[in-house]
Amino acid sequence: MDLKFLWTFDRKSQEDSITLTLLWVSFLLTIIVGGLNAFGVVESTSIFTEILYSTIALYGGRKFMANGKTFSSEKAEEIIEKVENK
């Protein structure tokens, strides 16, 4: 069974994104629990807001970009070596 239909299409990367799907799910859960909190069904929404913050960080931190180029740990080590050799 192909589960590709579950993932949300990311316009920036032009491919299906699991992290964007997690962001949408956590956003909807936060809205639903906020509504339940307004009606007094649940007492706290803190765990859902923390999950939302985590998925925002996950989606935003997928790739670090510097001047249009991907920034990786190998690039960081290369920069450190250049600075130390000067």
Residue 3 lies in a domain: no
Residue 80 lies in a domain: yes
Residue 34 lies in a domain: yes
The per-residue pLDDT for range 17-61, each reduced to its tens digit, is: 777 888 888 999 999 999 999 998 888 888 888 988 988 888 777
Alpha-carbon distance of 59 to 27, in angstroms, equals 13
Residue 62 lies in a domain: yes
Locate 10 and state its tokens.
């990311």
Q: Residue 33: enclosing H or E segment and its boundaries?
A: helix 18-38
Residue 67 lies in a domain: yes
Instruction: Name the residue range of residue 71's domain.
Output: 13-85
Give the per-residue pLDDT at 64.
Answer: 61
What's the predicted TM-score (pTM) here?
0.62
Q: Work out the number of other CB atoms within 10 angstroms of the CB of residue 22.
A: 19
Number of structural domains in the chain: 1
pLDDT at 67 over 60: no
